[in-house]
Structure 1
Amino acid sequence: MTALERVLPALRLDLPAVPEAVPGLRRAAREWLDEPCADVQLCVTELVSNVIRHVGEGTPVRVRVARTGARIRVEVTDPDPHTLPVLRRADADAEAEQGRGLSLLDAVVCRWGVDHAGENKTVWCELDGT
């Protein structure tokens, strides 16, 4: 554990995945980091929005934001191990606004993935923590 990790423990929030919760999550991430963090806020927003859209509104989630060395890791855990995120390339001419979130996330993060643990899955991403 680095000195920074000892000073700044992970942000952990358990809540239902509802649209009304997203602004509070973005605010909590900003307050936790105590600095502008648009990319972290984008990641939190997109990962929770994917749960709302693909698993179901009101699904209980755990959101975790932590410094891991020189990176910031964002994790969203939900109770549906079968509904997995799929990176799709949005057609520039498409009128639908859906399907772009994971592409945006993929563009700003160093890496992302999915971990399975029993009856849950965690979708995570890592960003440079500069």
Structure 2
Amino acid sequence: MTTWELSLLVTPKAVPEVRHLLRRHAYDVRLCASELLTNVVDHVGEGTPVTVRVVELSVGRIRVEVTDPDPRALPLLARPARVTDESGRGLALLDAPAVRWGVEQGADGKTVWCEVATDGTPSGARHPRPGALRGSVPRAVTPKRSP
């Protein structure tokens, strides 16, 4: 199992820099890392200390994790953004390529994670999720454990 890890103070400028550092990984991995970091900037605050981890799992998946110190700011896939909305698409962008995603809460922070397939199978063929983007269920409230 290979792990890549980086600790930093997240800023808007750091997002493309981390994406560049992950250039050897697939587009979906870079997209997920970017969205998770952007969510920290938007919902926890610029300059927040984070740890980014990319773990190659033995089950044909790559797990992307971002850990931050705020256990309260939980991501929710609530409703799709309207055409005129200037934000609100981040979790939908994360949800699309992800096989699964979730939140692990601790007393001193949380880790938001997702897993993407490394076998080249389109995400919709891997796991149909009826209504996933319609906002019927907040998907990240209950922590999901990886295998």
TM band (smaller chain)? 0.7 to 0.9
Match in the other structure for 1:81: 71
Match in the other structure for 2:10: 17
Match in the other structure for 1:29: 22
Separation in 1, partners of 2:23, 2:117: 15
Match in the other structure for 1:107: 96
Larger helix percent = 1
Distance 1:128 1:59, change over 3 A: same
**Where in structure 1 do 4 or more consecutive aligned residues deviate above 6 Å?**
none
Gaps of 5+ in 1: none
Distance 1:29 1:110, change over 3 A: same
| Matches for 1:29-108 after TM superposition, within 5 Å | 29-31=22-24, 33=25, 37-69=26-58, 70-92=60-82, 94-108=83-97
**1:14-52, CA deviations, whole angstroms, 9 ceiling, x for partnerless residues?**
001101111111111123x3xxx1111110000000000
Separation in 2, partners of 1:19, 1:39: 19
Separation in 2, partners of 1:40, 1:10: 13
After TM superposition, give the deviation of residue 91 of structure 1 in Å.
4.1
After TM superposition, give the deviation of residue 117 of structure 1 in Å.
2.2
After TM superposition, give the deviation of residue 89 of structure 1 in Å.
2.7
The normalised TM-score by structure 2 is: 0.76
SS at match of 1:108: coil
SS at match of 1:61: strand
After TM superposition, give the deviation of residue 88 of structure 1 in Å.
2.7
SS at match of 1:114: strand
Gaps of 5+ in 2: 120-147
SS at match of 1:10: strand
Distance 1:28 1:96, change over 3 A: same
Separation in 1, partners of 2:4, 2:86: 30
**1:47-103, CA deviations, whole angstroms, 9 ceiling, x for partnerless residues?**
0000000000110000000101110000000000001001033244x3113111101
Question: How many pairs were matched up?
Answer: 118
